[in-house]
Chains A and B, each alone.
Chain A
């Protein structure tokens, strides 16, 4: 009997003692409370807009004191009279920042759609089709180049939309509803920034249009997020409905300019065709090198071989060629053999710490990719820095334009040299992460990380040494993973740093510093 009681007590203690609720960093982000409003951001240099007021925004038709404006204030009051716990949570969730939350939504979509298509019965592979996005394979396959481009369009469109919004805020100077009517509670931090158009709505409007283009299978999800975001600003007493409607319309107009660019940036042709794939192989053989081969079964076409031709944000095509690194060690050379043996050694003698590093930075299929990882790093630092929405957008635009340009630069290099992965040259090399289905030189992770660390160090110099260490670790993680040679990592990192410098140059001249 004693034993029975003991067993039962042990079991109950054991089961009750451990809570299984996860503590999610993103859910715990504090509400945004900028240290300065950047009220002059209407003068900052936009990315694609010719001027901040390229798209007109009419003066608010609902003027303070008019019956229609009073109706708008009454809408806020009626929400505030009956706010549920869930609505209060939504206010605080979105209150952490519009740019932040839409960046996270993009990361979610990337992770969800970052899945390589399963092969056809004949051993070929189907390609996702943007015009029929829900048919398998679902559009898109959000691989790292696709994701880098998606993050860049989102961030750049958000930034231009916010520059335009600030221009009209300064022009129309509409006060916040809680300043007009003292019975309206501001449920988020207040400021003196005029509220027409709403910066949250302008971000939402721009984000929805970009996301619909890039993730057409997920439009219902995107619209549900937008509807929630829109109404929380009204519930929170931060904006009236006309502030929000104007912001949404302006955001959509700005986004359409970015969509027009996206439709003509050559990414649509990046998958190329079998003739192009074969030509890379022929060219490598002609140079006396062993050409890259897919290690997948059945062999999968190389990932987006013409992504190196996509129109970059900050680097023109001549400059892109000029920063292309010299060829990797020849597959015939002693240096190549030495580097191959180094990879073999890591694959056979990996320490637990090196495995941790390989997995920490792996960001493989089903994840938000390396550009998403750097966005997560950036956002978790930015929440402590008191940026305004427009400064958030500007900083993420610099980061993500550099990440997309890094993808272009890296893919240009990969398909210039078309060199084999270590496991192709020595099948004894097994990896602790998936072997990416494209040539080795240079490492994409290294290029992304060099660019990101350079841009983030410019934005947040106090952490420059940390970003540098992270980039080096991310770079070496691919050697530990046994999927890259040391040259891929070291040269990739240098290329990334060079790409990042273009974004820093732009940042120094955009009027925000």
Chain B
């Protein structure tokens, strides 16, 4: 899912921009209990009207505001209390408010995650838990990555390794994670292209990427409210040259500030939750300065209470 955070900044493929806000995701310190399934849907909208051409921030009258709408179907299943399986299926639609380029739409990339919590213990007055995650994403349709910034994705099959630590003291939590993304090469519909040199192949070398994230806030049985900071860095790639078009193997970097709010219904509607979140790109390179928000509804099946120990009031 991580790659789409940065994609979000370009294609504004917001699903994963917003994904970190949902409880029991690939980026938080929450787990589903054994045999419980949390499923839901999220709507996300992201847009930008300035972007970084290399390090130069600019607008583009021939694009106007580029917006992306994403509909996600997501789920998280507790294989055990310590091992969860997560997925996300996004449908993405892009649009430019000015100029002549046609917006694109379609099924984007399926994401699958295994989330493992090997360590969970109390330290002082709080709880410490440590996680290891393995993620994989792959395109669900034959969309093109070669129409940036209106492509719905980058197409690169991505394997993510993530280490994460969560500390909860009373209702106050802090989560930190670091990720490495191995991104497979992609192919274009053309047989030659120029990056900083000519390439006579339809295959594009995709640089790997890294990401770290810190999130902190309030977490109770009923409410979660937190702020996030995420730094995505492409490990290689090249800058867009002056007045050129973006390319999938650009050096796309972004620093993003986000907020997440989640409300868990209790009593009669127990298991139901709604989420809302925002993301704002503070700094970037070869990406759009995205503002995004998301809204979602989730439901936990066969479980009267939230899974995992963290949801205790």
A335-385 residues at the B interface, CB under 8 angstroms:
347, 352, 355-356, 359-360, 362, 365-368, 373, 376
Q: How far is the CA of A376 from the CA of B192 in the complex (A)?
A: 9
Contact pick for A116, options B99, B159, B243, CB 8 Å? B243
Per-residue 0/1 for B173-208: is the Cβ within 8 Å of any A Cβ (1 yes, 0 no)?
000000000101100111111100111110111100
Check B199 against A118 for contact (C-beta < 8 Å).
Answer: no
Which residues of chain B are within 8 angstroms of A296 by Cβ–Cβ distance? 62
Check B159 against A366 for contact (C-beta < 8 Å).
Answer: no
Known: A20-B206, A22-B185, A359-B146. A118 touches B201 (CB 8 A): no
The smallest beta-carbon distance between B97 and chain A, in angstroms, is 11
Check B194 against A359 for contact (C-beta < 8 Å).
Answer: no
Chain B: CB-nearest residue to A110: B194
Check A368 against B198 for contact (C-beta < 8 Å).
Answer: yes
The smallest beta-carbon distance between A154 and chain B, in angstroms, is 16
Number of residues on chain A facing chain B (CB within 8 A): 51
The smallest beta-carbon distance between A109 and chain B, in angstroms, is 10
Contact pick for B244, options A24, A295, A366, A429, CB 8 Å? A366
Chain B: CB-nearest residue to A376: B192
Check A7 against B201 for contact (C-beta < 8 Å).
Answer: no
Q: How far is the CA of A115 from the CA of B194 in the complex (A)?
A: 12
Q: How far is the CA of A470 from the CA of B114 in the complex (A)?
A: 47
Which residues of chain B are within 8 angstroms of A298 by Cβ–Cβ distance? 61
Q: How far is the CA of A412 from the CA of B192 in the complex (A)?
A: 30
Which residues of chain B are within 8 angstroms of A26 by Cβ–Cβ distance? 198, 200
Known: A3-B83, A118-B243. A431 touches B184 (CB 8 A): no
Query: Count of A-B contacts with CB under 8 A?
Result: 116
Check B161 against A11 for contact (C-beta < 8 Å).
Answer: yes
Stretch among B28-36, B100-108, B273-281 lining the A interface: B100-108
Per-residue 0/1 for B202-240: is the Cβ within 8 Å of any A Cβ (1 yes, 0 no)?
011110000000000000000000000000000000000
Q: How far is the CA of A24 from the CA of B114 in the complex (A)?
A: 36
Q: Main secondary structure on chain B at its contact with chain A?
A: loop
Known: A115-B241, A366-B245, A368-B192. A3 touches B116 (CB 8 A): yes
Q: How far is the CA of A376 from the CA of B182 in the complex (A)?
A: 32
Chain B: CB-nearest residue to A116: B243
Q: Which 7 pairs between the two chains have the least Cβ-Cβ distance?
A: A430-B102, A297-B61, A111-B194, A359-B189, A26-B200, A25-B200, A356-B189
List 9 additional contacts besides A3-B114, A20-B206; criterion CB under 8 Å: A4-B132, A22-B185, A111-B194, A118-B242, A297-B99, A352-B142, A366-B245, A368-B192, A434-B101
Binding site for B on A (CB under 8 A): 3-4, 7, 10-11, 14-15, 18, 20, 22-27, 104, 107-108, 111-112, 115-118, 136-137, 295-298, 347, 352, 355-356, 359-360, 362, 365-368, 373, 376, 423, 429-432, 434-435, 482
Binding site for A on B (CB under 8 A): 61-62, 82-83, 98-103, 114, 116, 118, 132, 134, 136, 142, 144, 146-147, 159, 161, 182, 184-185, 188-194, 197-201, 203-206, 241-245
